[in-house]
Structure 1
Amino acid sequence: MSGLEGLYQQIILDQSKRRNGDGPLEGADAEHHEYNPTCGDEITVRVKLAPGAEGAERIDTLAWQGDGCSISMASASTLAELVSGRTVDEARELIEAFRTMLRSQGAGEPDEDVLGDAIAFHGVSKYVMRVKCAMLAWVALEACLAQAARPAG
């Protein structure tokens, strides 16, 4: 294992223990539950949005509650860290960049400037059975953003 892969593994282990954003969120604008039947991981993501600059909505708070493997919990923790304060459009771009990286099967070099600590999950892309673990919270956030964009009623 290269030094970089070891660092990435350490980031994943640290994030799975840190669990940034883990907990309830009162007054959420949207919430979505995802379940991975392959390994039993499950997560509920809740978001609270706020007005941003020039009328663009931003993610004020992302909270999640779940149980699963270290990859899914670390991924949720990393997501919560990365999207707080970003606009909804920026969050969607980040989700797509993360998805593209996880579909790469380990090929290429993802952009650390875009992905931040989420780049640590690049190695996960080599293990098809683990990709859904890493994507679980991100898919839940994507559904929350779609739900929040729909007009009430």
Structure 2
Amino acid sequence: MSSNNLDALYRQVIMDHYKRPRNRGILEDGSHTINMNNPTCGDRIQLSLKVEDGVVTNAKYEGEGCSISMSSASMMTQAIKGKKVDEALKLAKIFSEMIQGKDYDDDIDLGDIEALQGVSKFPARIKCATLAWKAMEKGLTEEE
């Protein structure tokens, strides 16, 4: 697949998550609630996580922001559901490396998350893409 076709496909995946977000809403029985914002662009998120026996059993988010930040939140909540806390944190590390254009462990199938790889070409947008992930890391490490 040509680079232009791949970029177009990635844009479609990002816009699909933006227009039809997964896991958007409030988690009433969450064990962790994290509020974060990106003051440079106005993105904000409230992430709710439910962790039982070391496993992220549910994740939802509310917020507003650009298509990158909201799509990333949608993708992230899908990716971490059912994962052990250490697996979710490892995924966050891999995502951080990918989004910064660094080499990362590509043995793990990132699914839709891989569509955000192109953000690494736009340093000003990296904070948008990582906002939900930083909230997840904060929630899972500070509440342990």
Structure 1 contact 75–118 (Cα < 8 Å) conserved: yes
Letter in 1 for 2:88: A
Residue 84 in 1 paired to residue 86 in 2?
no
Unaligned ranges ≥5, structure 2: none
Unaligned ranges ≥5, structure 1: 52-56
Q: Within 2, Cα distance between the matches of 1:70 and 1:112?
A: 27
Q: Percent identity?
A: 39
Match for residue 13 of structure 2? Answer: 11
Residues 1-153 of structure 1 mapped to structure 2, 5 A cutoff: 2-51=4-53, 57-104=54-101, 111=106, 113-149=108-144
- Kindly tell me the number of residue pairs found equivalent between the two proteins: 142
Which digits, 9 at most, give the CA deviation of each residue in 1:91-112, with x for residues without a partner?
Answer: 00000000001111xx668727
Shift of 1:59: 0.3
Q: Within 2, Cα distance between the matches of 1:116 and 1:88?
A: 19
Q: Within 2, Cα distance between the matches of 1:34 and 1:109?
A: 26
Match for residue 54 of structure 1? Answer: none
Shift of 1:116: 1.8
Shift of 1:144: 0.7
User: Taking structure 2 as the reference length, what is the TM-score of the superposition?
Assistant: 0.92
Which digits, 9 at most, give the CA deviation of each residue in 1:46-94, with x for residues without a partner?
Answer: 100112xxxxx11000111000000000000000111100110110000
Structure 2 contact 97–104 (Cα < 8 Å) conserved: no
Query: C-alpha root-mean-square deviation of aligned residues, in Å?
Result: 1.6
Q: Which has the larger radius of gyration?
A: 1
